[in-house]
Amino acid sequence: MLDNHVRPTYNDIHNLIKDISEKIAAEFAPDLLIAIGTVLVLYALTRTSGFFPARVMRTYLKDPSTKRNIPIHAIGLSLYESLPGTTEEQVGNEVIRTQWLGPESKILLGRRALIIDEVDDSRQTLHYAISELQKDVERELQALPESERDAARTRFAVFVVHNKLKPKVKDLPIDIPYYTGAEVPDVWLDYPWEGNEHDRLATLAKSK
């Protein structure tokens, strides 16, 4: 780590998720996964972020009532990318929504939804995701008879592959279960699904 970079492999991440999945199943038992990524189809911009971890997590978690695979839904959020239409002041300071559940928000009602991302850095993205999803749930609940609302409330939890041990800009609600695969210092994390790191690993594999 001489260059202040940590380069976890696919196998490292797979094992971290495998190790924490049993705890998540026992304590939270999610029946819906929400992966955070950056998605801007019009401009062909995609970033895996929580998509790969969510897919691996689904390998180890099954719906507690049906024992079938848990559905994965995606939301697109960007904090550090410079996107079309954003200003320099927004990059790193404001979470930009690039994809959302839209009319599908009602699928959250009555579910135990696990929100998944690759890293908890400043906590801004996670804070935004939970706050906005909770607003969606409250809006949908208002359409139900008051007697049905408590049973239809959504429970949320968070899983990140890595949590950086650093002061956070935002907080999460204290009643939201929080799970992490590993805690790391405030270093650069080069994930294997990122372009440059993917190319480096491919070149390294060819040389062996």
3 is catalytic: no
pLDDT at position 105 = 84
**How high is the pLDDT of residue 1?**
55
Residue among 59, 64, 55 at smallest CA distance from 29: 64
Give the pLDDT mean for 191-197. Answer: 74
> Pick the catalytic residue: 121, 136, 175, 190?
121
DSSP β-ladder status, 45-47 and 32-40: antiparallel
What mean pLDDT value characterizes the chain?
84
The pair of structure tokens assigned to 170 is 């935002």
DSSP code, position 163: E
H helices within 30-178, ranges in order? 51-60, 124-141, 146-152
The 10s digit of each residue's pLDDT in 24-51 is: 999 999 999 999 986 544 444 444 578 9
Which amino acid makes up residue 100?
Answer: W
Alpha-carbon gap, residue 157 to 179, rounded angstroms: 8
Residue 198 tokens read as 């993917």
What is the identity of the amino acid at 19?
Answer: D
pTM: 0.86
The string of pLDDT tens digits covering residues 83-107 is 445 545 544 457 888 888 877 788 9
| pLDDT interval class at 199 (50, 70, 90) | low
Predicted confidence (pLDDT) per residue in 55-79, tens digit: 999 999 998 888 899 999 999 887 6
